[in-house]
Structure 1
Amino acid sequence: MAKHRRRDRKFRLTLTAVVAAAAFLPVAAAAAPSSGARPNIVGGTEASISDHPYAVYLTDKNGNQFCGGVIVSPAAVATAAHCAKAVSRAELRVVAGRQDKRTNDGRTVSVRDVWMPSGFTDPGQGDDVAVLKLSQSLPYQAANLPGDESLYAEGTKATVMGWGRTADGGARSDVLRSAVVPIVSDSSCRSSYSNYDSRSMVCAGYPQGEVDACQGDSGGPLVVGDTLIGIVSWGDGCARPGKPGVYTRVTTYADEIRSEADSSRGVFW
């Protein structure tokens, strides 16, 4: 149990969907070899998929949701690398346009190819990003990719969303939820996490905690307006004081994400 608690501190996947497929898998996390995980959006409210049409979630072939994602082109979805590794490509599904998991709204598509940085090993080591190239295009708005670092200024209000747990150790949400969290400075985040890497990561959250992403939210978007600045990656528990959520810093990977998304465009556009 101690090992599972350690993983929960760092990753944010939902394990239910991936236990059989990947026993090593663990915030929104479900899979990674050595760090930790978390549940649902804590301290948030139900969000409308029409307001955030780029928000998607990932399931295994049996429909078990374990991570989130974000549409970056009609035929490509960005997510966390530890989510992409949680389930084999053949069993991975992307569900788009569905606010309530209990309905059949929207589209469910399979994945034909996956890109992630060759150096990825663990969310706590950075490079926690992947692009899922879809088997068919989606008719939903894609999120914008950041053009510079201006949106990462300390105190910038960003919105995180997902279908993960709504409390540390609690149940997962059936509906899309979102919460507003401020960007935390690199120096402050480094004081919370000794392994914090400002090149590949960014932190967001309140000093007192209370609002955060959680297990099942991994891979989901952190946006300013409709611009994707972060991907839910890891953290220490959910919404704990002095332990902000850690996100993949999208600006570092924007060119690669755009290139991989564009490589899918020719297949369907």
Structure 2
Amino acid sequence: MNAFLTTLLCTLAATALAEISPNIVGGSNAASNEFPWQGSLQVRSGSSWFHICGCVLYTTTKALTAAHCLSNSASSYRLGFGMLRMNNVDGTEQYSSVTSYTNHPSYNGNAAGYPNDIAVLRLQTSMDTSSAAVGTSVWLLVQRLFRTNSHDQRMGKTLWRWKHPNNLQKVDMTVLTNSDCSSRWSGISGATVNSGHICIFASGKSACSGDSGGPMVVGNTLTGITSWGISSCSGSYPSVYTRVSSFNSWIQGQ
């Protein structure tokens, strides 16, 4: 069963030239300006740009995403913010080329559970956060919550990719303890949950292709970066995220 995890992450990281799963499992439309730090990591193909992963703006010139989303040169990518609808121009969009990026030095895409699946992206163009559609305030609250595993029964919200429907999607799910998450994944080879992970679950709801690198939040607090889950997007297993609070020092040093 280990192959299903590898296949999922390869799909999430390499969707620029192929049609991907249209699943948005249990989501609803986000409102305009509701998530001003949500971004789209895009890769060029010919003269067009294609969404491959989500990202999160945490300063006007830096963003977070999943390390498994990045394998090409920095010049291959751009970031888009202020985007409520992927296939429409709303006048709130801002874009920037990526000058460089750094994957966590201990990220290992071949290891069970894809440990340390986080990366910092550096933007060529500073984002204008005077716009209500683009902001970084979520980062200011990161260190307040979730430094232990005792956070069951809180509600985590994760934001899904723009694909059928066109509007940015959101969904509420329950944060699990890591021990509960591990138990739910037991018996699946390679599905290893460690202290650098945080999990959320609701039956019939799930992250899916294209969601990688996007945020999981509790209130306005960024708690997770979408990392991996079940390839069927069935909502039968927890969705697993990189636990942001475990990487605060590394992020702030970038």
Shorter-chain TM-score bucket reads 0.7 to 0.9
The structural deviation recorded for 1:13 is: 1.5
Q: Counterpart of 1:13 in structure 2: which amino acid?
A: L
In the TM superposition, 1:166-205 aligns within 5 A as 172-194=164-186, 195-205=191-201
Shift of 1:115: 1.4
Task: Give the CA deviation at 1:11.
Answer: 6.1
Q: Does residue 147 of structure 1 match 2:144?
A: yes
C-alpha separation in 2, matches of 1:110 and 1:241: 35
TM-score in terms of structure 1 length: 0.77
Q: Which residue in the other structure is 1:118 paired with?
A: 105
Alignment length (residue pairs): 233
Name whichever of 69-78 and 111-120 sits farther off.
111-120
Note closer, same or farther for the CA distance 1:241–1:196 as it changes in structure 2 (3 Å cut).
same
State the Cα deviation string for residues 131-189 of structure 1 (Å, max 9, x = none). Answer: 10100111221122233426860111011002156xxxxxx542210000111111111
Written as runs of structure 1 = structure 2, the 5 A alignment for 1:128-147 is 128-139=117-128, 140-142=134-136, 143-144=138-139, 145-147=142-144
Any idea what the Cα deviations from partners look like across 1:44-81, whole Å, max 9, x if unmatched?
10102401000001111221111101111111110000
Identify unmatched segments of 5+ residues in structure 1: 20-29, 31-37, 166-171, 261-269
CA distance in 2 between partners of 1:215 and 1:117 (Å): 22
- The residue aligned with 2:248 is 254
Matching residue's letter, 1:149: F
Judge which range, 136-145 or 222-231, deviates more: 136-145
Match of 1:244 in 2: 238
SS at match of 1:146: helix
Aligned mates of 1:256, 1:6 — CA distance in 2? 26
In structure 2, the residue matched to 1:234 is 228
Q: CA deviation at 1:258?
A: 2.3
Under a length normalisation based on structure 2, what TM-score does the superposition of the two structures give?
0.82
* Rounded Cα–Cα distance in structure 2 between residues aligned with 1:6 and 1:77: 25
- Native 8 Å contact 1:44 1:179 kept in 2: yes
1:42-191 paired onto structure 2 within 5 Å: 42-61=25-44, 62-85=48-71, 87-104=72-89, 105=91, 106-122=93-109, 124-139=113-128, 140-142=134-136, 143-144=138-139, 145-149=142-146, 153-163=151-161, 172-191=164-183
Moved more, 233-242 or 143-152: 143-152
Unaligned runs of 5+ in 2: 129-133
Change (3 A) 1:231 1:189: same
Aligned in 2, Cα 1:156/1:239: closer, same or farther, shift over 3 Å? farther
Identity %: 27
Q: Against the structure 1 CA distance between its residues 49 and 220, is the aligned structure 2 distance closer, same or farther, given a 3 Å change threshold?
A: farther
Question: Conserved in 2, the CA contact under 8 Å of 1:164 and 1:214?
Answer: no
Taking a change above 3 Å as real, the CA distance of residues 175 and 243 of structure 1, as seen in their structure-2 partners, is same
The answer to whether the 8 Å contact 1:94/1:109 transfers is yes
Counterpart Cα distance in 1 of 2:32 and 2:253: 26
Kept in 2, the 8 Å contact 1:12–1:215? The answer is yes
Q: In structure 1, what residue type is equivalent to 2:68?
A: H
Range with greater deviation from structure 2 (75-84 or 234-243)? 234-243
TM-fit CA distance, 1:210: 0.8
Matches of 1:256 and 1:228, distance apart in 2 = 16
The equivalent of 2:131 in structure 1 is none
